[in-house]
Amino acid sequence: MASSAPALGDHNTNPRDMSKLTRSPPRLLRDYDNWNEWKALAIDYLAFLSLEMTIYGRGTVNEQSIACKLIKSRLSDKILKYTTHCESAQSLWGALHKLFHHGARELDAQMRLRSINRANYKNVDHFLLDFKAILTDFWKDGISVNSNGICLDIVLSIKNDFPEWATTQLKNWEIHGFEQELSYCDFIKEVLVMLHREREAITDIPSA
């Protein structure tokens, strides 16, 4: 039978006052700005449910699964997609820590790129110019971004500018993998080659 005592983390040897623990799940984790507050509330909520030990690798398989589902239910869609591979509370908690403690700038960069809306631009050329300008800023600052994600973002953002045959190829890319079918669209290939050359020129450090 499970103990009614609050579960403790490895970092804490003092019993928690159960009356002070939150009985409500935290609001959705949306981005880096509410990570610290969300993390504290999430730990308290898990402790109230006697599931806090799961994020430190303890607990049964069932408890790990339950806690994992609870945590995922409090993640926004844009955060959730970074954790779809996690099946236990421990792996999920580790992924969130890695994302927000070691990859905060990279996450902000990805979100900024995904916030660019093609519909707000008069034509695709203006859209790509802004896209390239933002990427250039990231590269100058030494921020790394997911190149495959960038490729897919560009293609999906401007798919309505393509002829119908290219839309069919987009579906093939989504099913079979983006890079395998890249050669079907010379326009996108040229754009990506251009971006790659820009990055190499910006990040290349001449040898002494």
Would you state the pLDDT for residue 7?
Answer: 34
Task: Provide the 10 A C-beta neighbour count for residue 125.
Answer: 9
Q: Are residues 129 and 185 in the same domain?
A: yes
Domain boundary residue, one of 86, 102, 118: 102
**pLDDT score of 189 more than 60:** no
**pLDDT score of 61 more than 90:** yes
Q: Are residues 133 and 194 in the same domain?
A: yes
Give the C-alpha distances (Å, rounded to integers) separating 147 from 48, 89, 128: 41, 29, 15
Is residue 109 in a domain? yes
Domain count, the chain: 2
Domain boundary residue, one of 60, 87, 102: 102
Would you state the pLDDT for residue 102?
Answer: 57
Would you state the pLDDT for residue 176?
Answer: 47
3-class DSSP state of 29: strand
pLDDT, tens only, 5-38: 333 233 343 444 444 455 677 788 887 778 888 9
* Beta pairing partners, 29: 75
